[in-house]
Structure 1
Amino acid sequence: MSDIDQPIAANETTGTTTDPAAKVTWPPQRYAWYVVALLTLAYALAILDRVAIALLIEPLEESLHITDTQFGLLQGMAFSMFYSVLGLPIGMLCDRTRRTPILTAGVALWSLATMGCSLASTFEELFIARILVGVGEAALVPAAASIIADLFPPTTRPKAYGVFVSGTSLGTAAALILSGLFLHWSNGLIETMPHLVGGFQNWQLVFIMCGIPGLFLALIMLVSMREPKRQGIDQPTTEFSLKPILKLFGERPLAYGSLIVGTVLNLVCVYAIIGWVPALFIRAHEWPAATAGQVLGVVGVPISMFAAANSGWVISQLTKRGHSDAAMLAAGATGVSMMVFGTGLSLAPTGILALVFYGLNAFFTNWNISAVYSGVAQITPNQLRGQVMAVHTIVSSLIAMSAGNFIVGFLTDNLFTATDGISYALAIVFLTCGAGSALLLMIGRGAFRRAAAANLKRLDPDV
């Protein structure tokens, strides 16, 4: 067995290698990174199945006779309704039982539900299908965040989270690029194979094509992933109670409040990007839908992938240099980027200039979610990490996912009704939420540092 395949005996607090007989022994790193690769691909497919609908706005509104406001509900509330409600109980399950079966079942469910979107003939039917997509995806973040925390020592963990977060960039880019390609392919299939798919519209075939890969991934996970040993605790609790997490939040209200709310405000902007920026280029700059998707994807893939992987490295480097609040700094940088580059993207007079601002903003977008995973792991006891991530998922779903999509659609239907009105609607979201996020995260830095020190002291009283 090569060195890379050897389990790593490490101190849970510092991540430094110690005697092989040490209490904490980390899994073989080759296998650990293989699991991260699977989780990253799952995240990418989740984002693909979640946001591919954004490029289908025109055919869906024409086929199902829906408004921008209803489309905003399909992107946000329909998905987030049960995604948020189920987050906490799934997080509690992840803290108490095996996480890999929960994860595998979730991947299979959201993939089937995505394919089921193709069967919708009314707004209500598509709304229900989107709910089921959210139910399946509710399992991903709590399970994956908990699994990664038990695969890597703390010094390496931010890098693993950074790679995992790159799945959001990969998925968003894939949704834009593949949706455009699938639209082309579906038109060709309908013309060349009318006996097989002639009864389908092109948007229906796009949903089917988006859902199929997840079924194969669920099978691979089922046969190749092992449940990791929980690190830092003797055994998980089996009692289902909200008291421990409420007590934790009560002890550190500013640390958790600023981290959760600050990063959620950034996510309002992220979901506005995912849901409406393609429409910005289609309406305000008159780009064809397929072209807009492919160009945004091609520009976004290399930048966002680099930024997602780089985010973990940045947080690790800041931490090594003594910044125990590195996660807050990284998330705050995202808020500033949304305020400056996001607003510039919205109001740019030409499509090319808007694309430049889009690329600049992409350098910082994924720093936010890496900061969430790293920050939660840094200030939260192992046995509560899944629940804290679930709370963040609930808040981000109810506020960010719903508001980021609904507000823009509502404003374009009722206030900025001109074709280019989407520019002003997006600018309002980016400016207000980006500034609010940056301010709140900077206010909470001191509280976060104290919470991190307290959790470190709990793990190692000698620190």
Structure 2
Amino acid sequence: MAAYLASATDDGADTSRGIPRRYAWIVFALTFGLLISDYMSRQVLNAVFPLLKAEWALSDSQLGLLSGIVALMVGLLTFPLSLLADRFGRIRSLVLMAVLWSLATLGCALADNYPQMFAARFLVGVGEAAYGSVGIAVVVAVFPRDMRATLAGAFMAGGMFGSVLGMALGGLMAQHFGWRWAFAGMALFGLLLALLYPLIVKEAKIAPQRVNAPACKIARPLHTLYGSRSVIAAYVGSGLQLFVGGTVIVWMPSYLNRYYAMGTDQAGVVAAIIVLCSGIGMILCAMLCDRLGRQRPDRKISLAIGYCLGSCLLLSLAFALPSGTAQLVLICLGMMVAAGTNGPSSAMVANLTHYSVHGTAFATLTLANNLLGLATGPLITGRVSDLIGLHAAFQLVPLISIGAAAVFFIAKRHYHRDMARLDNPHAVEPGAAEELKP
């Protein structure tokens, strides 16, 4: 019973002892910068969709596949690559990933046809596969545990800001210099950061406890990846909610081009503003979770449920309206709330899993995010768009948030019990003794 009550105020192990705060913020800034490069390389494609469609006579399904293949490879490879990074060095792994996705993005600039572009995007996905999961494991390791939702939200917002820069700068560069230079610019930025990162961030400095401590038995830590209902619900709920946000991000430039008659440069800028709203909302929602959940961690889950339902309402209203200012305002508000689940879901995963496998735990979260959301969302929406049009497809997308809210509700029901089991795996839960009697 004592373990159960303690879990109500405990947010998991603190791994930041011995790490200077100033150095921690330097680590965050550089890791955040590489995440921005990651998403710039991924999302620049969306800004040049109209140009590729016209030049190579592509269907929406083919365009959706060019976007979805990156998320699919991230989903398939994030777990094994993150497990290797946890075992053999997170910093070395991050640098190798950044070099690969930057070179692959340069390959996109050199592609002469759809198959070559598809192959280059495939390699972009391989390079980016484990960066988000390993990068966030580095970030949460160097800061106190009561900042996890805020840091996770702020770090993952780097993906939104990278998407903003990728689409805005990509659209401008494509309009004035051609779509090939849009890809080349993103590649050069990533290579520069990849060279700088290992000169400053050292494995021994960011994880002194793990480097100096004897190797732990890995069986039990790995079990925590899937050992509770609430952590599984966190994976699934996060992935379902990203189906909504990821789909809107990918297809918004095309939506603006078709229904607002915007050129690629203007559509890229407006879409970037919408994504920027999403990134700001991600940070604000995460800060609210940490503030309200300081004494009651389960409040994070209640807020995640509210974010899902709020985004469903706002985006459904937005796509029920005709094109115009009111629709764009509601889309911005809906995307601010839609991204709010990233902070609480990441904090739940960190709290419910062992710190020695946090890279792999966030890889599992990334796997769910990509397979349930970022890969399937754009692809399914592209296929539906080919049948009924993009506007009608967008009207269906927000309904997925209702399913995400239901899954987070399951997590809330089991969270305290699962935290107690993690803190004291041999403790008997209240009422369990009676259940075991014949």
TM-score, length-scaled by structure 1: 0.83
**Match of residue 392 from structure 2:** 424
**Match of residue 61 from structure 1:** 53
**Match of residue 193 from structure 2:** 217
Q: Alpha-carbon deviation of 1:238?
A: 8.3
Kept in 2, the 8 Å contact 1:37–1:164? The answer is no
Please give the alpha-carbon distance, in whole angstroms, between the structure 2 residues aligned to 1:64 and 1:127: 13
Deviations 1:9-62 (A, max 9, x none): xx99586xxxxxxx9723111110111111212111211111111121111112
Deviations 1:189-228 (A, max 9, x none): xxxxxxxxxxxxx111111112111111111102111112
Please give the alpha-carbon distance, in whole angstroms, between the structure 2 residues aligned to 1:262 and 1:217: 33
**Match of residue 163 from structure 1:** 154
Please give the alpha-carbon distance, in whole angstroms, between the structure 1 residues aligned to 2:153 and 2:125: 23
RMSD: 2.6
Q: Alpha-carbon deviation of 1:65?
A: 2.3
**Match of residue 4 from structure 2:** none
Q: Alpha-carbon deviation of 1:83?
A: 1.9
Please give the alpha-carbon distance, in whole angstroms, between the structure 2 residues aligned to 1:94 and 1:149: 15
**Match of residue 289 from structure 2:** 315
Q: CA separation of 1:230/1:260 partners in 2, compared to 1, >3 Å: closer, same or farther?
A: farther
Matched, 1:46 2:38: yes
Which of 440, 446, 463 lines up with 2:413 in the alignment? Answer: 446
Following superposition of structure 1 onto structure 2, how do residues 73-92 of structure 1 map, counting pairs within 5 Å? 73-76=65-68, 78-92=69-83
Following superposition of structure 1 onto structure 2, how do residues 98-117 of structure 1 map, counting pairs within 5 Å? 98-117=89-108
Q: How many residues align?
A: 415
Kept in 2, the 8 Å contact 1:169–1:366? The answer is no
Which of 207, 219, 232 lines up with 1:229 in the alignment? Answer: 207
Structure 1, gaps ≥5 residues long: 1-10, 16-22, 187-201, 459-463
Kept in 2, the 8 Å contact 1:299–1:359? The answer is yes
Which SS does the other structure have where 1:95 is aligned?
helix
Matched, 1:275 2:263: no
Kept in 2, the 8 Å contact 1:14–1:153? The answer is no
More helix by share: 2
Matched, 1:94 2:85: yes
Which of 174, 179, 189 lines up with 1:183 in the alignment? Answer: 174
Please give the alpha-carbon distance, in whole angstroms, between the structure 2 residues aligned to 1:45 and 1:337: 30
Please give the alpha-carbon distance, in whole angstroms, between the structure 1 residues aligned to 2:85 and 2:382: 35
Which of 342, 350, 362 lines up with 2:335 in the alignment? Answer: 362
**Match of residue 120 from structure 1:** 111
Q: Alpha-carbon deviation of 1:455?
A: 2.9
TM-score, length-scaled by structure 2: 0.88
Q: CA separation of 1:429/1:306 partners in 2, compared to 1, >3 Å: closer, same or farther?
A: closer
Kept in 2, the 8 Å contact 1:12–1:153? The answer is no
Q: CA separation of 1:329/1:26 partners in 2, compared to 1, >3 Å: closer, same or farther?
A: farther
Q: Alpha-carbon deviation of 1:360?
A: 0.4
Question: Which amino acid is 2:23 matched to?
Answer: Y
**Match of residue 3 from structure 2:** none
Question: Which amino acid is 2:27 matched to?
Answer: V
Q: Which moved more, 1:78-87 or 1:368-377?
A: 78-87
Q: Percent identity?
A: 25
Please give the alpha-carbon distance, in whole angstroms, between the structure 1 residues aligned to 2:279 and 2:365: 23
Which of 276, 290, 294 lines up with 2:265 in the alignment? Answer: 290
Kept in 1, the 8 Å contact 2:245–2:339? The answer is no
Deviations 1:330-363 (A, max 9, x none): 4323321331122233332123122101210232
Please give the alpha-carbon distance, in whole angstroms, between the structure 1 residues aligned to 2:225 and 2:16: 27
**Match of residue 5 from structure 2:** none
Please give the alpha-carbon distance, in whole angstroms, between the structure 2 residues aligned to 1:311 and 1:38: 23
Which of 120, 123, 127 lines up with 1:132 in the alignment? Answer: 123
Please give the alpha-carbon distance, in whole angstroms, between the structure 1 residues aligned to 2:423 and 2:339: 26
Question: Which amino acid is 2:183 matched to?
Answer: F
Q: Alpha-carbon deviation of 1:250?
A: 5.6
Which of 367, 378, 391 lines up with 1:394 in the alignment? Answer: 367
**Match of residue 430 from structure 2:** none
Please give the alpha-carbon distance, in whole angstroms, between the structure 1 residues aligned to 2:97 and 2:225: 28
Q: CA separation of 1:237/1:43 partners in 2, compared to 1, >3 Å: closer, same or farther?
A: same
Deviations 1:124-146 (A, max 9, x none): 11111011111111131221122
Kept in 1, the 8 Å contact 2:47–2:168? The answer is no
**Match of residue 434 from structure 1:** 401
Please give the alpha-carbon distance, in whole angstroms, between the structure 2 residues aligned to 1:95 and 1:279: 39
Kept in 1, the 8 Å contact 2:167–2:271? The answer is yes
Q: Alpha-carbon deviation of 1:185?
A: 3.1
Q: CA separation of 1:334/1:125 partners in 2, compared to 1, >3 Å: closer, same or farther?
A: farther
Q: Alpha-carbon deviation of 1:230?
A: 5.6
Please give the alpha-carbon distance, in whole angstroms, between the structure 1 residues aligned to 2:295 and 2:139: 24
Which of 369, 378, 382 lines up with 2:351 in the alignment? Answer: 378
**Match of residue 208 from structure 1:** 184
Which SS does the other structure have where 2:329 is aligned?
helix
Please give the alpha-carbon distance, in whole angstroms, between the structure 1 residues aligned to 2:98 and 2:105: 11
Please give the alpha-carbon distance, in whole angstroms, between the structure 2 residues aligned to 1:304 and 1:81: 22
Please give the alpha-carbon distance, in whole angstroms, between the structure 1 residues aligned to 2:417 and 2:347: 16
Q: Alpha-carbon deviation of 1:371?
A: 2.0
Which SS does the other structure have where 2:112 is aligned?
coil
